[in-house]
Structure 1
Amino acid sequence: MSRKILIILAMIFGLTQIASAVLPSEVMRDPDQDARARMLYREVRCVVCQNENIAGSSADIAADMRRDIRLHIREGLSDADIRQTLRDRYGDYVLFRPALNPATLALWFLPVIVLIIGGVIFLRLPRKAAETEGAVDVAELSAEERARLNKLLEDDNNRSS
């Protein structure tokens, strides 16, 4: 990669970090704990913004969720325990990668099923078109229809001449 591209990418990455909703007051003193908290922030969905993680959300509930995560980390809870606490409080939807259980089967497998069905349809369409392309069902014309057709063609030829 050229140096200019690397500089542009670094600037873009820097701007995305500035735009983060995590406030300086939310940074934990222990760098390892802060790294854990920031990783969890990215895994948790803001229940107000819905498709935004709590790291990037400025909603009040996201700030509360970040505070709770920091508190749980200070209390010594594992990441799995913190995720479970959030699931218990907000439901499976709060995690971008919900646990696999009967309630979340559709979340995990519906996209795959839709892709498979779409792929089958995509692959069968060209075959069906090729099969029916030359197979035109033409009925024989009756003598009366053939006479009308010839008359129409003669009239058209006379007009264009």
Structure 2
Amino acid sequence: MASVNRALGLVLLSLAALLSVMAAQAESIEIRQFDNPVTEQRYQSLTASLRCPKCQNQAIDDSDSPIAGDMRDRVYLLLQDGRSDREVLDFMVERFGDYVLYNPRLEGRTMLLWGLPAGLLLVGGLFMILLVRSRRKASVKALSDEERARLDALTKREKIS
């Protein structure tokens, strides 16, 4: 009888824990009302393309941090206010910096970021071309008369042995 009571207690405790977890997850679900599906799609796209400043490599639509929630609220309000995607992104960059963009904009200060990979590929390719050409020239060089005579003498000595 005691084992039945203990098992029943464990089941009730497990159910209580499960209900508390489900209640905590239900609190984090945000419901937004949109006038049309285009605005809703824009909202989804913008929140997926903005990085959470706290979570570092997580989009604000996936993050549970309070700052990501505030950013989602702001995106929603700006879209309801009739702002364009560019204006929303500009607002977020002005407020949080370029870090919130997964794809930094092509500007004067980000030229190195965008150009460095292409520049390294070009320099590496040029280096490889020069290396192959220099090795070809070195291997194609003809032997002098002295070198030819020495080579013949060495090969004759090997044949005799």
Q: Which amino acid aligns with 1:83?
A: L
Q: Let me know the Cα RMSD of the aligned residues.
A: 3.3
Residues 72-114 of structure 1 show CA distances to partners (whole Å, capped at 9, x for unaligned) of 1112211111111011111122212333322222222222222
Q: Which has the larger radius of gyration?
A: 2
Tell me the distance in 2 between the aligned counterparts of 1:133 and 1:60. 67
TM-score (norm 2): 0.58
1:128 to 134, 139, 142: 134
1:42–1:128: structure 2 CA closer, same or farther, 3 Å change rule?
farther
Q: Tell me which residue corresponds to 2:90.
A: 84
Give CA deviations for 1:46-89 in whole Å, capped at 9, x if unaligned.
22333333233333322222221111111221111111101111
How many residue pairs get aligned? The number is 123
Where do residues 19-58 of structure 1 align in structure 2 (5 Å cutoff)? 24-30=29-35, 31-58=37-64
Distance 1:76 1:116, change over 3 A: same
Consecutive unaligned residues in structure 2, runs of 5 or more: 1-27, 147-161
Give the drift of 1:36. Answer: 0.5
How much does 1:134 deviate? 6.2
Could you tell me the TM-score, scaled by structure 1's length?
0.58
SS at match of 2:89: helix
1:119 aligns with 2:136: no
Contact 1:48 1:61 in 2 (8 A): yes
